[in-house]
């Protein structure tokens, strides 16, 4: 713990947390001992019940809600209209532990080594939402009541892509009515500094398919007569993005809401060691356009990526074939407020103009999500995290990747913040997943501090 300023009402809560630290670690070990592997449907039901019991023991009214897939665990504490309501979101399922022999200690026999707890799910995500639960317990133990109302939502299918979350949130919107959402998942910055993330990019995938003849032919006997499917496809792709990096599809950028000055400044102030980054990847240059700042690229601009190009012959030696069929697999990363549907419509119109015999196959998509950094909740969360960690958090306007955060910001229409608790080398999804005990303790303090600072906001 650091010597940074801590609110007087939090001091005894932090003392309680420190005093019970060892017991909290033992209880976390007990929780992660239970497998809940969504991909293999192992232990899901048992752990849903276990999580439900743990929330019930805090005094929450809890329900295990059935979905078309694995159940959601939904808890509620308090409904005082004069208090702020925080929705904590997490997931009780874990990744498969295979390969077992790569684990130093077995994945479901939690073991402490060098100040870290090793177990599948300890960082992603059980240790993080359990820290929120212990924050609630500790705050109640000291003050007898909470400074806010709480909704606790634990999903059982996050590790298999959250197939039910969108429908669940839509049909339970009234029960999920909160002032804001806090998700604690993922890692802290590599330096150990805490992070607050305000959004994610969205995405949409599609295929481009073309067939020019009934069959492949001889490139001599038919060359110059039969159109080549791969040329057709690469010519089309060439009209979609120019060599300087500009996406040249009419209307593609229509929906974009440019980032605010505050978001720009936040992105520019994030630490990045470009030389080390390029060295690690073996890069001699960054993608076009060259004059774009590192985090601007990841946070504020859409991309058009060719994931794969298939057709013709790619094997050993040569084969003088004239291919009749070619497929490009592509994805687009979307920024606020682009939608998968609009983007695919614009791509379809583009194809109709440039290569009408190419077929567009629409695949799945996910909306982007953005919480304004100007939100009234930014300052109390930032202060809370600073008190809990002793250092100020880094503010990420967005992640480059995609998560279904839109269910909160768009479906429920409330701000959503991601405040991770795990160490950067937590090895989630990999063997020897671990959580530093110090990060776990910082997480419990963070949960308590956020409830208090946010609760005070409304008083
Ligand atoms: Zn995960």
Residue 125 Cα to ligand 1 midpoint, Å, equals 7
What would the 3-class secondary structure string for 409-446 be? HHHHCCCEEECCCECCCCCCCCCCCEEEHHHHHHHHHH
**Structure-token pair, residue 173:** 């919107």
Residue 407 Cα to ligand 1 midpoint, Å, equals 18
Helix and strand counts by DSSP (H, E) for the chain: 13, 19
Residue 17 Cα to ligand 1 midpoint, Å, equals 27
Residue 95 Cα to ligand 1 midpoint, Å, equals 7
Q: Return the pLDDT at 3.
A: 62
- Whether the CA torsion 95, 96, 100, 105 is positive or negative: it is positive
Q: Return the pLDDT at 408.
A: 97
Residue 442 Cα to ligand 1 midpoint, Å, equals 20
Residue 124 Cα to ligand 1 midpoint, Å, equals 5
Residue 65 Cα to ligand 1 midpoint, Å, equals 22
Tell me the residue length of the chain.
459
Dist. CA 38–CA 61, nearest whole Å = 25
Dist. CA 27–CA 324, nearest whole Å = 62
Strand partners of residue 217: 322
Q: Return the pLDDT at 458.
A: 75
Residue 412 Cα to ligand 1 midpoint, Å, equals 23
Q: How confident is the prediction for the chain on average, in pLDDT?
A: 96
Bond from prior residue into 447 cis (ω within 30 degrees of 0):
no
Residue 428 Cα to ligand 1 midpoint, Å, equals 6
Dist. CA 30–CA 420, nearest whole Å = 22
- Pairing of β 369-370 and β 199-200: antiparallel
The helix/strand/coil state of 23 is: helix
Residue 457 Cα to ligand 1 midpoint, Å, equals 32
- pTM higher than the cut 0.85: yes
pLDDT tens per residue, range 109-144: 999 999 999 999 999 999 999 999 999 999 999 999
Residue 100 Cα to ligand 1 midpoint, Å, equals 18
Dist. CA 331–CA 203, nearest whole Å = 7
Residue 38 Cα to ligand 1 midpoint, Å, equals 11
Q: Return the pLDDT at 403.
A: 86
Beta carbons of 194 and 389 less than 8 angstroms apart: yes
pLDDT tens per residue, range 189-236: 989 999 999 999 999 999 999 999 999 999 999 999 999 999 999 999
Residue 122 Cα to ligand 1 midpoint, Å, equals 11
Residue 55 Cα to ligand 1 midpoint, Å, equals 22
Q: How confident is the model at residue 4 (pLDDT cuts 50, 70, 90)?
A: confident
Q: Return the pLDDT at 175.
A: 95
Residue 161 Cα to ligand 1 midpoint, Å, equals 9
pLDDT tens per residue, range 401-444: 888 999 999 999 999 999 999 999 999 999 999 999 999 999 99
């Amino acid at each position: 713990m650091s010597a940074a300023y801590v609110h007087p009402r939090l001091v005894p809560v932090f003392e309680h947390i420190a005093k019970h630290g060892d017991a909290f670690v033992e209880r976390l070990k007990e929780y992660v001992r239970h497998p809940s592997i969504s991909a293999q449907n192992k232990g899901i039901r048992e752990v849903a019940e276990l999580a439900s019991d743990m929330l019930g023991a805090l005094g929450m009214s809890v329900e295990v809600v059935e979905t078309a897939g694995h159940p959601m665990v939904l808890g509620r504490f308090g409904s005082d209209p004069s208090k702020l309501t925080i929705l904590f979101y997490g997931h009780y399922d874990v990744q498969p532990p295979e390969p077992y022999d790569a684990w130093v200690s077995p994945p479901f026999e939690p073991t402490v080594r060098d100040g870290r707890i090793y177990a599948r799910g300890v960082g992603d995500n059980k240790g993080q939402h359990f820290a929120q639960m212990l924050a609630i317990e500790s705050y109640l133990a000291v003050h007898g009541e909470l400074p806010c109302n709480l909704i606790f939502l634990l999903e059982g299918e996050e590790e298999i892509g959250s197939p039910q979350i969108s429908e669940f949130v839509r049909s339970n919107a009234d029960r999920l009515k909160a002032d804001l959402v806090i998700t604690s998942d993922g890692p802290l910055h590599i330096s150990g500094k805490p992070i607050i993330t305000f959004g994610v990019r969205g995405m949409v995938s599609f295929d481009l398919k073309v067939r020019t003849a009934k069959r492949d032919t001889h490139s001599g006997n038919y060359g110059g007569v039969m159109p080549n499917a791969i040329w057709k496809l690469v010519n089309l792709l060439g009209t979609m993005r120019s060599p300087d990096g500009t996406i040249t599809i009419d209307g593609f950028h229509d929906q974009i809401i440019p980032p605010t000055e505050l978001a720009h400044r936040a992105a520019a102030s994030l630490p990045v060691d470009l030389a080390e980054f390029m060295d690690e990847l073996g890069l001699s240059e960054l993608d076009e356009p060259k004059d774009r700042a590192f985090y601007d690229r990841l946070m504020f601009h859409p991309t058009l990526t060719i994931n794969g190009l298939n057709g013709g012959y790619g094997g050993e030696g040569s084969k003088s074939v004239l291919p009749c069929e070619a497929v490009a697999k592509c994805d687009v990363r979307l920024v606020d407020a682009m939608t998968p549907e609009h983007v695919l419509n614009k791509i379809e119109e583009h194809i109709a103009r440039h290569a009408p015999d190419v077929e567009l196959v629409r695949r799945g998509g996910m909306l982007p999500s953005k919480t304004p950094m100007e939100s009234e909740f930014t300052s109390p969360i930032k202060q809370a995290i600073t008190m809990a960690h002793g250092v100020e958090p880094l503010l990420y306007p967005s992640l480059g990747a995609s998560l279904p955060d839109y269910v909160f910001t768009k479906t429920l229409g409330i701000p959503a913040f991601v405040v991770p608790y795990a160490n950067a080398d937590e090895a989630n999804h990999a063997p020897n997943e671990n959580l530093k005990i110090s990060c776990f303790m910082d997480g419990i303090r963070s949960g308590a501090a956020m409830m208090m600072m946010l609760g005070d906001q409304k008083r």
